[in-house]
Amino acid sequence: MKPVRCAAVDLGATSGRVIVGTWSGAGLELDEVHRFTNGFRPMAGHEYWELPRLWGEVCAGLAKARRRYPRLASVGVDAWAVDHVLVNDRGRPVFPVHAYRDTRTAAASRALARRGIGKVYALTGVPNYPYNTSLQLQETLRACPAVAKAASRCLFIPDYFNFLLSGRMENEFSIASHSQLVDVHGTDWSRGALDFFGIPRSWFAKPALSPRRLGPVTGVPGLRGVLCVLAPGHDTACAFAAMPAAADGSDLYLSSGTWSLLGFEGTAPLLGPGALRARVSNERMGDGRYRPLKSCLGLWLLERIVPEFSSRPQTPAAWRRLIAAAALARAPGRLLDLSDSSLFNPQSMRAAIDRQLRGRGGRPPGDLAAYTRLICASLGRGHADAVGVFERLAGRSFRRILVVGGGSQNRLLCQATADASGLPVSSFSLEGTAVGNIAAQLVALGAVADHASFRSVLCRELKAAEYSPR
């Protein structure tokens, strides 16, 4: 067959990239044509994303992709969840775009924990995270009531970039499912949850299952003839879709990046008091299936501690040196409590870690290598705890943990996960989110019959690094 080329616009909280995948029928080759940093900015006590800058980077990346691959067929967007753009009926933003780490929802989240979360969880299957879209929109409406009139639609970040690309306003299903506003038993919005948080139903279109063709790219000069595809908008849904998983459903998935996201694919949600207590989030794949997930603090800890000692590693070799030094550091006497909210977005990550350790009778590490070792061991323990929760709640055991994302290249973290969980870990050095995004485009284009066929090719092709529990 003729090669088919698709561009994945993959927007992460700390970096974004435009990656072109070339599908030959027997395998997928990736070319990262553009990478840029991302981050939110503080202003007057709040945190905001810089959307115009991000859009400029997306356009620059797509222009490069087109120059390098004149026959580029399509583009799809995935991004981090929960954040959103409130727009009027012409698509103009009517409210600044807050970042999910803004603490504006902290008080409402505490109030929800005291009253109402049981009902909201039964309706939506999503636990109480302070950054949920539900709480963010509730806070926006309370702080600025005029927004209720000014806004006519709420678009999640990938929805908004799809709109900029194609002029079409959709609410893609996987990204909508993280909002704490979608009916856990169906594929539409939950009227009960919208009413509970006081959010207008008219802000949303019925969630659109993915993948699907949206229409031609009209928003970027030089991309004539390229199709915009509605890929799963949530980067975690894309990462999970890319997992070269066994067909019998016995694998657990770990997407290891800014967050550690551990879960599995299924046909039913995990609900009830035990699931709520364990904070299992019943997110969804683009096609409507369930993706019960536990979300733990991830390599954000490392991302934030490194600058307190030196500059961030810029190359795989520099990361390898840091990990090798950490492997030689002394094993930590006490691990971090990852549920401690003071680690969420502290001024100084080092000070926050030291405070926590001292408060629990531990001793702060002496150098960056020792902090790195402490973080890897603590994340490994956190992953193992999540495995235990799923085995208990789903009443089944899993055979392997598959890892993708930046953390798949951290051998200390993969080994710590295998050791703490007692399960073999297979790490795939693949840009999971981009691969899932491109797979969806290939299905929408008709270049691949369905997602299962894509996965079976990927399983044959990919090499894993294997870590046995010690």
| CA separation for the pair 367, 169 (Å, rounded) | 49
Q: How far is the CB of 82 from ligand ADP (least distance, A)?
A: 14
Side-chain-side CA neighbours of residue 2 (13 Å): 6
| CA separation for the pair 273, 292 (Å, rounded) | 15
Q: Which stretch binds ligand ADP (CB under 6 A): 7-15, 66-74, 330-338, 347-355?
A: 7-15
Q: Which is nearer to ligand ADP, 171 or 256 (CB)?
A: 256
DSSP 218: -
Q: Which is nearer to ligand ADP, 32 or 303 (CB)?
A: 303
- Name residues contacting ligand ADP, limited to 387-406 (CB under 6 A): 405-406
Verify binding: residue 158, ligand ADP, rule CB under 6 A. Answer: no
| CA separation for the pair 344, 353 (Å, rounded) | 11
Q: How far is the CB of 252 from ligand ADP (least distance, A)?
A: 18
- With CB atoms as reference, the residue minimizing the distance to ligand ADP is 406
Q: Which of 13, 87, 440, 443 binds ligand ADP (CB under 6 A)?
A: 13
Q: Which is nearer to ligand ADP, 146 or 318 (CB)?
A: 318
64 phi and psi, to 5 degrees? -60, -45
Verify binding: residue 407, ligand ADP, rule CB under 6 A. Answer: yes
Verify binding: residue 124, ligand ADP, rule CB under 6 A. Answer: no
Per-residue contact flags (x/-) with ligand ADP for residues 287 to 326, judged by CB under 6 A: ------------x--xx------------x--x---x---
Q: How far is the CB of 426 from ligand ADP (least distance, A)?
A: 16
Catalytic site includes residue 83: no
| CA separation for the pair 234, 210 (Å, rounded) | 11
| Exposure letters 285-312 (e unless 16+ CB within 10 A, then b) | bbbeebbbbbbbbbbbbbbbbbeeeeee
240: tokens are 């999970």
| CA separation for the pair 213, 228 (Å, rounded) | 7
139: tokens are 């806070």
Q: How far is CA 293 from CA 57, 86, 126, 282, 306, in A?
A: 31, 27, 10, 6, 28
- Set 83, 159, 235, 419: catalytic member: 235
Q: Which of 76, 207, 257, 380 binds ligand ADP (CB under 6 A)?
A: 257
363 phi and psi, to 5 degrees? -115, 130
Token look-up 């006497």 returns 333
| Active site amino acids | 235
> What residue ranges bind ligand ADP (CB under 6 A)?
12-15, 257-258, 299, 302-303, 316, 319, 323, 405-407, 409-410
